[in-house]
């Protein structure tokens, strides 16, 4: 295929041998399958701010500190340089989060690095060696739903222990690889200690997982883990292997209908792109 302009520098520098095909195009980035040293991996090209449809970006940026006093001042003034700094932060946030979460034992794509604003990372595959499907594309038994729900709650706990909250976790950004669920899409990851929206976003992530898996195991609707996690986190008692009861009082977070519709449209476009790639292959 024709090499996208954003990937040409990586090809020129020998970091990528070949651009195989586009894997997806979402609300914040386009992802390509690329060959690198005989191995297939992913190259994520972020869209510019004017082309991103990510909602309420300022809520996610709260608490992020710009490196250097000049950058911090520029960001505060919203100057041209400040906007450029924020864009660079948005792009680098994901690779920083991937390294941080991988070290904490969270199942995420293995990061390779950031080059010219493009994130290189592991291509998560299924048992047939194909790109792994997302959670919304998979049917499961009740027992499988309970197992994966428990796993995802454990992953959210590990993320919180590492000081991060996904902030946009849903069935659309969890892949099902050969070992089970893998969490993706982290440029908006929230600092749990310094963002005033942290608990609201944590509760929404937890609720999204509950609603997703309860379609196959309805009893999961009776669980509530967010308050329990947050109480332990705030008291400094949350541990990666914490055993939670899921029995705290229910916190209802209103569904973000616009965001869900954006995800559905992105998923449709992504499915069409995958099918086109298969047809071309």
Give 10's pLDDT tier (boundaries 50, 70, 90): very high
Expressed as residue numbers, the domain containing 234 is 52-109+130-280
In angstroms, rounded to a whole number, what is the distance separating the alpha carbons of residues 218 and 123? Answer: 32
Task: Please check the confidence at residue 31 and state whether its pLDDT lies above 90.
Answer: yes
Question: What number is the average pLDDT over the span 66-74?
Answer: 49
Task: Please check the confidence at residue 111 and state whether its pLDDT lies above 50.
Answer: yes
Task: Please check the confidence at residue 231 and state whether its pLDDT lies above 50.
Answer: yes
In angstroms, rounded to a whole number, what is the distance separating the alpha carbons of residues 220 and 225? Answer: 11
Contact 109, 98 (CB under 8 A): yes
Which region among 12-16, 58-62, 238-242 has the lowest average model confidence (pLDDT)?
58-62
Residue 123 lies in a domain: no
Better pLDDT: 75 or 227:
227
Task: Please check the confidence at residue 56 and state whether its pLDDT lies above 70.
Answer: no
Give 74's pLDDT tier (boundaries 50, 70, 90): very low
pLDDT at 281: 55
Residue 27 lies in a domain: no
Residues 217, 249, 242: CA angle, nearest 5 degrees: 70
Residue 76 lies in a domain: yes
Q: Per DSSP, what are the bridge partners of residue 125?
A: 131
112-154 residue pLDDT tens: 999 999 999 999 999 999 999 999 999 999 999 999 999 999 9
Contact 198, 190 (CB under 8 A): yes
Q: What is the 3-state secondary structure (H, E, C) of 36-74?
A: ECCEEEEEEEECCHHHCCCCCHHHHHCCCCCCCHHHHHH
Residue 17 lies in a domain: no
Q: By CB neighbour count within 10 A (0-12 exposed, 13-18 middle, 19+ buried), where does 189 fall?
A: buried
In angstroms, rounded to a whole number, what is the distance separating the alpha carbons of residues 73 and 147? Answer: 47
Residue 256 lies in a domain: yes
Residue 14 lies in a domain: no
Number of domains into which the chain is organized: 1
Give 90's pLDDT tier (boundaries 50, 70, 90): confident
Contact 176, 182 (CB under 8 A): yes
What is the end-to-end Cα distance of the chain in Å, rounded? 10
Closest CA to 44 of 112, 99, 132, 102: 112
Task: Please check the confidence at residue 79 and state whether its pLDDT lies above 70.
Answer: no
pLDDT at 95: 94
Task: Please check the confidence at residue 260 and state whether its pLDDT lies above 70.
Answer: no
Provide the 10 A C-beta neighbour count for residue 201.
23
Residue 118 lies in a domain: no
Q: Which residues are catalytic?
A: 168, 185
Give 75's pLDDT tier (boundaries 50, 70, 90): very low
Task: Please check the confidence at residue 80 and state whether its pLDDT lies above 90.
Answer: no
- CATH code for position 152: 1.10.510.10
Task: Please check the confidence at residue 163 and state whether its pLDDT lies above 80.
Answer: yes
In angstroms, rounded to a whole number, what is the distance separating the alpha carbons of residues 260 and 208? Answer: 11
Residue 116 lies in a domain: no
% of the chain residues with pLDDT over 90: 67
């Amino acid at each position: 295929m024709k090499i996208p302009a954003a990937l040409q520098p990586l090809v020129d520098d020998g970091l990528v041998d070949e651009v195989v095909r586009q894997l997806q195009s979402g609300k914040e980035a386009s992802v390509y399958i690329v060959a690198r040293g005989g191995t297939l991996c992913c190259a994520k090209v972020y869209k510019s701010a004017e082309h991103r449809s990510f909602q309420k970006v300022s809520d996610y940026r709260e608490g992020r500190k710009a490196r250097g006093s000049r950058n911090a001042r520029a960001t505060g003034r919203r100057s041209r340089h400040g906007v450029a700094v924020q864009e660079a932060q948005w792009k680098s946030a994901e690779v920083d989060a991937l390294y941080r979460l991988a070290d904490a034992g969270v199942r995420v794509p293995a990061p390779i690095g950031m080059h010219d604003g493009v994130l290189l990372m592991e291509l998560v595959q299924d048992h047939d060696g194909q790109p792994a499907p997302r959670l919304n594309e998979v049917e499961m038994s009740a027992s499988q739903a309970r197992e994966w729900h428990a796993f995802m709650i454990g992953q959210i706990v590990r993320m919180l222990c590492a000081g991060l909250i996904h902030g946009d976790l849903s069935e659309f950004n969890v892949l099902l690889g050969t070992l089970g669920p893998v969490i993706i899409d982290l440029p908006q990851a929230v600092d749990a200690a310094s963002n005033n929206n942290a608990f609201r976003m944590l509760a929404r992530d937890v609720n999204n997982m509950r609603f997703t898996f309860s379609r196959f195991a309805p009893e999961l609707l009776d669980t509530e883990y967010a308050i329990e996690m947050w109480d332990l986190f705030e008291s400094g008692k949350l541990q990666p292997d914490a055993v939670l009861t899921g029995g705290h009082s229910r916190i209802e977070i209103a569904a973000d209908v616009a965001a869900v519709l954006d995800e559905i449209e992105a998923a449709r476009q992504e499915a069409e792109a995958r099918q086109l790639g298969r047809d071309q292959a």
